[in-house]
Chains A and B, each alone.
Chain A
Amino acid sequence: MLIFSSSDKGGTGRSVTSCNLAYRLSLLGQDVAYLDFDFGSPTAGAIFEIPTLERGTRNGGLHSYIRGRATEPVRADIRTTTERQVLKERPPGSGKLTLFPGDVGGAEFSLTNEHIKKAAELFQTVEREFDVCIVDLSAGRSSALDMSLQAISPKNRPKKAEAVRWLLFHRWTTQHVIAASGLLLEENGILSCALAAGFARREFLRLVRTIRTAVPDASAFGKKTTAEQDAWLSRSDDILKTLAKSRGLGLDMLAGTTPLEPMLLWREQVIMDVDVKRRLADKATTQAFEELANKLIDDEAWEGFER
Chain B
Amino acid sequence: MARPVGPSDPGGQRPQVVLGAVTTGLLNTSEPLPLEAARQALALLPGVSPDWHRHPIEQVVSPDIFFGLDCRLAVPPGAGSQPRVIGTARARAVLTAGHILQGSARVEVLLDANRRRLPWAHYAARTGVVEAINRADPADLVTGFLQGAVNSTVLDLGKTGAYVMSLLDRVPQIDRQPRLKTETGRLLWAVHVQDGAEPDSLVELRDDGMLRVRIGTPAELLPQFVEFCEILALHHWLLSALRNAFERSNRRGRRPEGELDPALSYLGHMWNPEAHLPHEMRGLWQRLENEAQLTWEWKSTVTRVRDKVSLLTRKAIEEALHKEVV
Binding site for B on A (CB under 8 A): 27-31, 59-60, 68-72, 92-95, 121, 125, 128-131, 158, 160-161
Contacts and interface: CB of A to CB of B under 8 A. Distances in A.
Main secondary structure of the interface of A (DSSP, over half): loop
A28 B252 contact: yes
B177 A128 contact: no
Given A29-B252, A161-B176, A130 B159 contact: no
A125 B181 CA distance: 10
Q: What does DSSP make chain B's interface, helix, strand, loop or mixed?
A: loop
Contacts of B184: 125, 128-129
A286 to B, nearest CB: 16
B224 to A, nearest CB: 28
Contacts of B28: 128
A99 to B, nearest CB: 15
Given A59-B150, A60-B150, A72 B181 contact: no
B176 A158 contact: yes
B159 A129 contact: no
Nearest to A77: B207
A29 B252 CA distance: 5
B295 interface: no
Contact of B248 (A31, A70, A72, A128): A31
A70 B150 CA distance: 7
Contacts of B151: 60, 69-71
B150 A128 contact: no
10 contacts: A27-B252, A29-B251, A31-B248, A71-B149, A71-B152, A71-B158, A93-B250, A128-B26, A128-B181, A128-B182
B175 interface: yes
Interface size class of B (residues with CB under 8 A): 20 to 34
A169 to B, nearest CB: 26
Interface string B152-194: 1000101100000010000000011110011110000000000
B122 interface: no
B299 to A, nearest CB: 26
B176 A29 contact: no
B156 A160 contact: no
A200 B177 CA distance: 24
Interface in B258-309: none
Contact of A70 (B152, B181, B182): B152
Given A94-B251, A94-B252, A71 B178 contact: no
Given A94-B252, A128-B25, A131-B181, 16 more contacts: A29-B252, A29-B254, A59-B150, A60-B150, A60-B151, A69-B152, A70-B150, A70-B151, A71-B156, A71-B158, A72-B158, A95-B251, A121-B166, A128-B181, A128-B182, A130-B181
Contacts of B248: 31, 95
A135 B195 CA distance: 52
B176 A93 contact: no
Nearest to A161: B176
A30 B158 CA distance: 28
Residue of A68, A72, A121 most packed against chain B (CB within 10 A): A72
B251 A160 contact: no
A131 B182 CA distance: 11
